[in-house]
Amino acid sequence: MDEIFPKGAAWIDGQFVKLSDAKIPILDWGFLRSDATYDVVHVWKGYFFRLDHHIDRFFQSTKKLRMPCKMSRNQLKKILAGCVKNAGLENAYVEMIQTRGVSPNFVRDPRQATPRVIAFAVPFGWILKPEDFEKGLDVLLTDIKRIPPNSVDPTIKNYHWMDLVTGMLNAYEKGHHTALLLDEHNNVTEGPGFNIFCVDQTGIITPKLGVLEGITRKTVFDLSDELGINISKKSISIKKLKTAKELFASSTAGGIMPITKISGKNIGLGKVGDVTRKIHKLYWQKHLDPNWITSVNDILK
């Protein structure tokens, strides 16, 4: 069974284990009801990137779900670093998860469940591989509507992904890289695991509502401020999307990624734009900035 798993390591029920041995009970609410939250931080060349921001959001999400994480920040850091160390990875995708857990005798009251914390590290993965950067992404604008925020709060990172997965399947079947979903008012929201940014004559715009407030999204704001580029949160219509000068996506899985086509049609000249290129360059430069990174080895000392 181990051959189906990537190189990696996990932590569950108080111990580090192989990925193939990290299992939850079938009655865990996280499995049965998608009653869980998670966060993903990456490690690059032995350093976590913006680790405290990811942990802050994870703790906030558990509180919003009314199952606050009982683990301390330092405990969680050591677990995440331990997963990376045990996996022997220099570049890693590291996930922290909290499920609602199992309630006694499977009673229907979620308040009686005992939350479960899980973590794992696997090799770093890319939505857009570096060698494909100049080509950019071709993203399908789907007719699938994003789950409305008054149903599931998108600021809580969650596993309610059927809308996103359906969009991905539609995109793959039509020969596109990934998908982009709209809200009930036909405004742009986000894609599977990424936020989107539109560049026009005013600067950079990203959707204000109905999206995960991604840490890489926050990073784009920080980088834009440093570069002196105006950035704001506003609704983005389909017309605005398709007539943008540039589009790019942000994600832990690859950072800043140019979108050169929407549903097969060029955005602008169909090439990576100047603003996207500047944000992308500074993003990777920050992976050497001690104010933005945390050593895996230092955490484990």
Grade residue 301 by pLDDT with cuts at 50, 70 and 90.
Answer: very high
pLDDT digits over 51-110, tens only? 999 999 999 999 999 999 999 999 999 999 999 999 999 999 999 999 999 999 999 999
Judged by phi (left if over 0) then psi (alpha if -120 to 50, else beta), residue 258 lies in: beta
Give the closest residue to 256 by CA, choosing from 296, 197, 176, 301: 197
- The domain limits of the chain are 2-123, 130-287
73 CB neighbour count, 10 Å cutoff: 14
pTM comes to 0.96
Q: Provide the mean pLDDT of the chain.
A: 97
* CATH architecture, domain 2-123: 2-Layer Sandwich (3.30)
- Give the confidence band of 1 by pLDDT, cuts at 50, 70, 90: low
Equal fold, 2-123 vs 130-287 = no
With a CB cutoff of 8 Å and minimum separation 6, the contacts of 15 are none
Does residue 2 have a pLDDT over 80?
Answer: no
Tens digits of per-residue pLDDT, 217-265? 999 999 999 999 999 999 999 999 999 999 999 999 999 999 999 999 9
C-alpha 204 chain-centroid distance: 20
Of the candidates 258, 262, 260, 272, the one whose C-alpha atom is nearest the C-alpha of residue 242 is 262
Nearest 5 degrees, angle CA 293-CA 36-CA 294?
10
Q: Distance (Å, rounded) from C-alpha 212 to C-alpha 147?
A: 12
pLDDT, one tens digit per residue, over 24-42 is 999 999 999 999 999 999 9
Average pLDDT over residues 188-209: 97
- Dist. CA 153–CA 147, nearest whole Å: 9
pLDDT at 3: 78
State how far the Cα of 30 lies from the Cα of 97, in Å rounded to an integer. Answer: 10
The pair of structure tokens assigned to 264 is: 């097969």
Could you give the angle at which helices 215-227 and 51-64 cross, rounded to 10 degrees?
130
Q: Which CATH architecture has domain 130-287?
A: Alpha-Beta Barrel (3.20)
The pLDDT of 275-285, averaged and rounded, is 98
